[in-house]
Amino acid sequence: MSVTETVHANGVAELVVHHPPANAYTIADLARLSELLRSYENRDEVRVAVLRADGNGFCAGGDLKEVQALPGFEGILGQARGSQDSSLAIAECAVPVIGCLHGYCVGVGVLLAGTCDVLVGCAATKFVLAEVDNGATTGGVQALGLLPEKRMRTAMFTCEPFDIAELHGYGSVYHVEPSVQATVDRAMQIAATIAAKTPRVVRAMKQSLNNTAARDLRTLYRQELSYTFELNMLGDAAAARQTFLDQARAGYLDGG
């Protein structure tokens, strides 16, 4: 299983993604993540969740090989539904979700990070909103959880990487640590602090803050998806994704 769960004695649920070689999330990975996060509504023993990944980076985006290999529009519909459902599962999770980031965070990874309640990360972690290069128009509503609007627009139009230090400067990332292990330790420390609070109050606060932020993720992301689906019907999106698989364009990080 590419997404594992460990519930610690203090009520911290640790969710770990492990999908070598790069942690490109499949449709099944996103479905499993959504399933676990949704389950906390009825699992009182869980007080807070930490979402992290093993390997070289948090997320390399969606699994484009899977998307291209599935027949018809099955791949893009599955990946789009998975991205939407997993983002909503974080936003609507009954308990706070802490994102623990390292290495790189691309595509759907940025969407998930932008929806988490708290973020910590390892120094030099890079982020890429690669949707335009892959024929997609989604992720703006989640990215607004990380970037100011004009900066978000630039990141999405250019697909150029941005660094965790920039997000820390905005206050979007709470702590930046020097190593992966220090980042995990910090995330678990923050989680333990939250887990020690009165559970019913923390759950109520999560709902209250969602209402205050008033980011209608469900409606706005579905609206963004309509343009992605149109581009897939026209053929532009599949052609864009194929350029990556054919290595017709360079990668985003370290020139590869």
How many domains are contained in the chain?
1
* CA 177/CA 102 separation, integer angstroms: 10
Taking only the tens place, the pLDDT of each residue in 110-154 is 999 999 999 999 999 999 998 999 888 999 999 999 999 999 999
Query: Higher pLDDT residue, 206 or 242?
Result: 206
The answer to whether the CB of 73 falls within 8 A of the CB of 234 is no
- 194 located within any domain: no
* CA 128/CA 253 separation, integer angstroms: 9
Residue 255 has pLDDT above 60, yes or no: no
102-110: average pLDDT: 95
CATH number of the domain that residue 53 is part of = 3.90.226.10
Global pTM reads 0.92
Instruction: Find the domain containing 148 and state its range.
Output: 3-177+205-213
- 74 located within any domain: yes
Residue 168 has pLDDT above 80, yes or no: yes
- 197 located within any domain: no
What is the model's pLDDT at position 254?
54
- 47 located within any domain: yes
C-alpha angle 217/152/157, rounded to 5°? 110
Which of 46-55, 69-78, 224-233 is modeled with the greatest confidence? 46-55
